[in-house]
Amino acid sequence: MSFLKLENLSKRYGDFTAVENLDLTVEKGEFVSLLGPSGCGKTTTLQMIAGFVEASAGRILLNGRDITNEKPNRRGLGIVFQSYALFPHMTVADNVRFGLEMRKVGAAESAERVKQALALVHLDKFGHRYPRELSGGQRQRVALARALVIQPPILLLDEPMSNLDAKLREEMQIELREIQRKVGTTTIMVTHDQSEALSMSDRVVVMEAGRAVQIGKPLETYENPVNAFVSQFVGKANLLPGTVEWVRDGGAGVRVGNHVLEVQGTSLAVGEHTTLCIRPEKIECCTEAEEQLGGVVASSFFLGNQWLYRFETDCGDILVILKNNGQTSCQPGQRVSLRWPTSAMRAVASESAIMRSAHV
Amino acid sequence: MSERASSNFKPKRSLPYLLTAPATLLFVTMVLAPLLLTALLALNSYDDSVGIKSTYDLHNYLAIFGDDYYLRIFWRTFWIAGLTTLICIVVGAPEAYVLSRMGRKWRAFFLIVILAPLLVSVVVRAFGWSMLLSADGLINHALQAVGIAPVKMLYTSGAIVVALVHVMLPFMVIPVWTALQRLDPTVEHAALSLNASQATVLRRILLPQVAPGVLSGSLIVFGLSASAFAIPGLLGGRRLKMVATTVYDEFLGSLNWPLGASIAIVLLVANLIIMMTYNRILERRYSKTLG
In this predicted complex, what is the ipTM?
0.81
DSSP-derived pairing of the beta strands B51-53 and B45-47:
antiparallel
Instruction: Outline where DSSP puts E strands in A165-305.
Output: 186-191, 203-208, 211-216, 238-248, 251-256, 259-263, 273-278, 284-286, 293-302
Q: Where does the pLDDT of residue B10 fall: very low under 50, low under 70, confident under 90, or very high at 90 and above?
A: low
A246-280 pLDDT tens trace: 888 878 889 888 888 988 877 788 888 888 999 99
Residues 6+ apart with CB under 8 A from A313: A257, A293, A294, A295, A296, A338
The count of other CB atoms within 10 Å of the CB of residue A181 is 11
Residues in chain A: 360
Please answer yes or no on whether B190 and A130 come within 8 Å at the CB atom.
no
Q: For residue B234, count CB atoms less than 10 angstroms from its CB and return exposed for 0-12, middle for 13-18, buried for 19 or more.
A: buried
Q: CA-CA distance, A28 to B147, in Å (whole number)?
A: 71
Please answer yes or no on whether B289 and A50 come within 8 Å at the CB atom.
no
Whether the per-residue pLDDT at B47 is higher than 90: the answer is: no
Check CB contact of B199 with chain A, cutoff 8 Å: no
Task: Please compute Rg for chain A using Cα positions.
Answer: 24
> Which of chain A's residues have a Cβ under 8 Å away from the Cβ of B190?
79, 81, 85-87, 143, 146
What pLDDT does residue A350 have? 67
pTM for the model: 0.81
Choosing among B186, B188, B189, B193, which should be mutated to test the A contact, i.e. which has the most A CBs within 10 A? B193
Task: Give the containing element (helix H, strand E) for A23.
Answer: strand A16-26
DSSP-derived pairing of the beta strands A154-158 and A186-191:
parallel
Q: Give how far A344 is from chain B: nearest CA, Å.
A: 45
Which candidate from A81, A99, A132 shows the least CB-CB separation from B189?
Answer: A81
**Do residues B231 and B160 lie in contact, with contact meaning Cβ atoms separated by under 8 Å?**
yes
The CA-CA-CA angle for residues B210, B212, B214, to 5°, reads 70
Choosing among A52, A82, A89, which should be mutated to test the B contact, i.e. which has the most B CBs within 10 A? A89
Q: Give how far A68 is from chain B: nearest CA, Å.
A: 15
Q: Residue type for A99, please? A: G
Choosing among A83, A92, A98, which should be mutated to test the B contact, i.e. which has the most B CBs within 10 A? A98
Residue A240, φ and ψ in degrees, nearest 5 = -125, 105
Q: CA-CA distance, A296 to A308, in Å (whole number)?
A: 14
Q: What is the mean pLDDT of chain A?
A: 90
Q: Where does the pLDDT of residue A43 fall: very low under 50, low under 70, confident under 90, or very high at 90 and above?
A: very high
